[in-house]
Homo-oligomer: A and B are copies of this chain.
């Protein structure tokens, strides 16, 4: 049984970014094949006529979505962690909590599936994952784990967070506790 496609919002003028954010929602909930102009328009309370004012076509939108995901949604987690003031293990915990806190808007799972049948998405996905792995390894090196160990612990943190995101951990009321216990295993020497 399919869930209802969400209430239509009040009719207002939408910017290109409004369309982009609405697309991220649809992408997260229905997957790439569910990203249809009419579906996004319905969510915004608009019609396809508006869409084609902001975007050349559907591919134009999808390209923008990929770039936005890679730059903003991956990058700002890293920048946030870099600006964190405190001991290395607390920075890791901060990052893990940050990811889950944003879970509701992360389309990572849908993009991973998308990458299985689209070469552009696959390239973007690989770049983003490489960046995550390298940064995560660095985080654990700062904790004085030797490079090979830091690398696998960083990778395991990324995978655990992706798994929990896919799993909708943020809907579980005790998610901070779950994250805390993941964290303890990862930073334990």
Verify A118–B2 contact, CB threshold 8 A.
yes
Report A131-162 residues with CB < 8 Å from chain B CB: 148-149, 152-153, 155-156, 158-162
A152 to B183, CA, bound (A): 10
Q: Is the interface of A mostly helix, strand, loop or mixed?
A: helix
A158 to B3, CA, bound (A): 27
Contact of A28 among B3, B116, B120, B184 (CB under 8 A): B116
A159's nearest neighbour on chain B, judged by CB, is B163
Chain B residues closer than 8 Å to A28, beta-carbon distance: 113, 116
Which of A116, A164, A166 has the largest count of B CB atoms less than 10 A from its CB? Answer: A166
Contacts A31-B33, A118-B1; A112 near B159 (Cβ below 8 A): no
Report how many residues on chain A are interfacial, defined by Cβ distance under 8 Å. 43
A30 within 8 A of B: yes
Verify B164–A1 contact, CB threshold 8 A.
no
A32 within 8 A of B: yes
Verify B113–A185 contact, CB threshold 8 A.
no
Which of A117, A162, A182 has the largest count of B CB atoms less than 10 A from its CB? Answer: A117
Contacts A31-B31, A110-B113, A117-B3; A152 near B166 (Cβ below 8 A): no
Interchain Cβ contacts under 8 Å between A and B, 29 examples: A2-B119, A3-B117, A3-B119, A28-B113, A28-B116, A29-B116, A30-B32, A30-B113, A31-B113, A31-B114, A33-B33, A109-B112, A109-B166, A116-B168, A129-B167, A148-B181, A152-B181, A152-B182, A152-B185, A156-B160, A159-B160, A159-B167, A160-B163, A162-B166, A163-B163, A163-B166, A166-B166, A185-B185, A185-B186
